[in-house]
Chain A
Amino acid sequence: MRNNRSIISGIDWWTIVLFLVIALFGWLNIYGSSYSFDQTSIWDFSNRAGKQLVWLATAVVMGGIILMIEEKAYDVLGYIFYGVMLLLLIVTPIFARDIKGSLSWLTIGPISLQPAEFAKCFTAIAIAKYMSRYGYKVRDLRDLTVPFLLMGVPMLIIMVAQRETGSALVFISFLLAFYRQGMTGYVLSWGVASIFLFILVIRFGEMALPFGTGNLGILISTTVIHMIVLGLLIGKEKDLRSAIIMALGVVVCYGIGLIINIWTVVDFNYVAIASLAYVAIYLLIQAVKQRKSSMGWIVGFVMISTLLCQGCDYAFHNILQRHQRVRIEVLLGMKDDPHGAGYNVNQSLIAIGSGQTTGKGFLQGTQTKLKFVPEQDTDFIFCTVGEEWGFIGSAGLLLLYLALILRIIYIAERQRDKFSMIYAYCVAGILLFHVTINIGMVLGLLPVIGIPLPFFSYGGSSLWGFTILLAIMLRLDAARVNKMQG
Chain B
Amino acid sequence: MINDNFYRRKYVVGSIAVMIVLTYIVRLFLLQVIDQSTQEKAANNAQLRQTLYPSRGLIYDRKGELLVANQPIYEITVIVREMMQEHFDTIGFCNALHITSNDFAMRMQEMSDRRKNRGFSRYTPQIFMQNLSQEDIAQLQQEQYKYPGIDIRIRTLRDYTYPIASHVLGNVGEVNYNDIESDNYYAVGDYSGRGGIERTYEKELRGKKGVEVYMRDSRGRIQGSYQNGLLDRPAEAGTDLYLSIDRATQQLAEQLMQNKVGSIVAIEPQTGEIITMVSAPNWDPKRLVGRERSANYQQLLDDSHKPLMNRATQAQYAPGSTFKILQALAALQNGCITPNTKYPCSGQTSTPIKCTHDHGSPVDLEEGIEQSCNPYFWALYRDMLQQDGYENGHALFKEHYNDWREIIASFGLGERFANTDIREQAKGYLPTTDFYNRIYGQKGWKAITIRSLSIGQGEILVTPLQLANQAAAIANKGYYITPHFNRNDSMKSDIHTTLVDSVHFDVVHRGMSRVMTEGTGRWYNIPELQMCGKTGTVQNPHGEDHALFIGFAPMDNPQIAVAVAVENAGFGATWACPMATLVMEQYLTGEIKRSALFERMANANLIDKADEE
Query: Could you tell me which A residues sit within 8 Å of B by CB distance?
Result: 36-38, 176, 179-182, 185, 347, 349-357, 363-367, 369-372, 386, 390-391, 394-395, 398-399, 401-402, 405-406, 409, 412-418, 421, 425, 428, 432, 435-436, 439-440, 443, 445
Other A-B pairs, 5, CB within 8 Å; known A38-B85, A180-B13: A37-B85, A38-B84, A352-B31, A363-B218, A445-B23
A-B contact pairs, 16 of them (CB 8 A): A180-B6, A347-B45, A366-B45, A366-B216, A371-B123, A390-B32, A395-B25, A402-B17, A406-B18, A413-B10, A415-B2, A416-B2, A421-B2, A425-B13, A435-B21, A443-B31
Residue from B1, B9, B28 within 8 A of A180 (CB atoms):
B9
Shortest Cβ gap from B24 to chain A (Å): 6
- In the bound complex, residues from chain A placing their C-beta under 8 Å from that of B216 are 366, 370
State in angstroms the CA–CA spacing of A38 and B84 once bound together: 8
Query: Could you tell me which B residues sit within 8 Å of A by CB distance?
Result: 1-2, 4-7, 9-10, 12-14, 16-18, 20-21, 23-25, 27-29, 31-33, 35, 37-39, 41-42, 45-46, 81, 84-86, 122-123, 216-220
Q: Evaluate contact between A398 and B13: CB separation under 8 angstroms.
A: no
Shortest Cβ gap from B10 to chain A (Å): 5
Residue from B9, B29, B218 within 8 A of A370 (CB atoms):
B218
Shortest Cβ gap from B73 to chain A (Å): 31
State in angstroms the CA–CA spacing of A406 and B84 once bound together: 47
* Chain B: CB-nearest residue to A347: B45
Shortest Cβ gap from B84 to chain A (Å): 7
- In the bound complex, residues from chain B placing their C-beta under 8 Å from that of A415 are 1-2
Residue from A363, A386, A401, A405 whose CB has the most chain B CB atoms within 10 Å: A405
Interface of chain B: mostly helix, strand, loop or mixed: helix
- In the bound complex, residues from chain A placing their C-beta under 8 Å from that of B16 are 176, 432
Shortest Cβ gap from A483 to chain B (Å): 11
State in angstroms the CA–CA spacing of A36 and B221 once bound together: 12
State in angstroms the CA–CA spacing of A394 and B41 once bound together: 20
Q: Evaluate contact between B45 and A356: CB separation under 8 angstroms.
A: no
Q: Evaluate contact between A350 and B42: CB separation under 8 angstroms.
A: yes
- In the bound complex, residues from chain A placing their C-beta under 8 Å from that of B86 are 38
- In the bound complex, residues from chain A placing their C-beta under 8 Å from that of B38 are 349-350, 352-354
- In the bound complex, residues from chain A placing their C-beta under 8 Å from that of B81 are 37
* Chain B: CB-nearest residue to A418: B2
- In the bound complex, residues from chain B placing their C-beta under 8 Å from that of A428 are 13, 17
Q: Evaluate contact between A367 and B28: CB separation under 8 angstroms.
A: no
Q: Evaluate contact between B21 and A354: CB separation under 8 angstroms.
A: no
- In the bound complex, residues from chain A placing their C-beta under 8 Å from that of B84 are 38
State in angstroms the CA–CA spacing of A402 and B18 once bound together: 7
Residue from A180, A354, A366 within 8 A of B217 (CB atoms):
A366
State in angstroms the CA–CA spacing of A366 and B46 once bound together: 7
Q: Evaluate contact between A350 and B45: CB separation under 8 angstroms.
A: yes
- In the bound complex, residues from chain A placing their C-beta under 8 Å from that of B31 are 349, 352-353, 386, 443
Residue from A38, A185, A353, A390 within 8 A of B42 (CB atoms):
A353
* Chain B: CB-nearest residue to A394: B28
Shortest Cβ gap from B279 to chain A (Å): 45
Shortest Cβ gap from A60 to chain B (Å): 26
Q: Evaluate contact between B218 and A366: CB separation under 8 angstroms.
A: yes
List of 6 A-B pairs having minimum Cβ-Cβ separation, nearest first: A353-B38, A354-B42, A391-B32, A402-B21, A37-B85, A369-B218
- In the bound complex, residues from chain A placing their C-beta under 8 Å from that of B218 are 363-366, 369-370
* Chain B: CB-nearest residue to A360: B218
State in angstroms the CA–CA spacing of A363 and B9 once bound together: 43
State in angstroms the CA–CA spacing of A413 and B13 once bound together: 12
Q: Evaluate contact between A182 and B33: CB separation under 8 angstroms.
A: no
- In the bound complex, residues from chain B placing their C-beta under 8 Å from that of A414 are 1
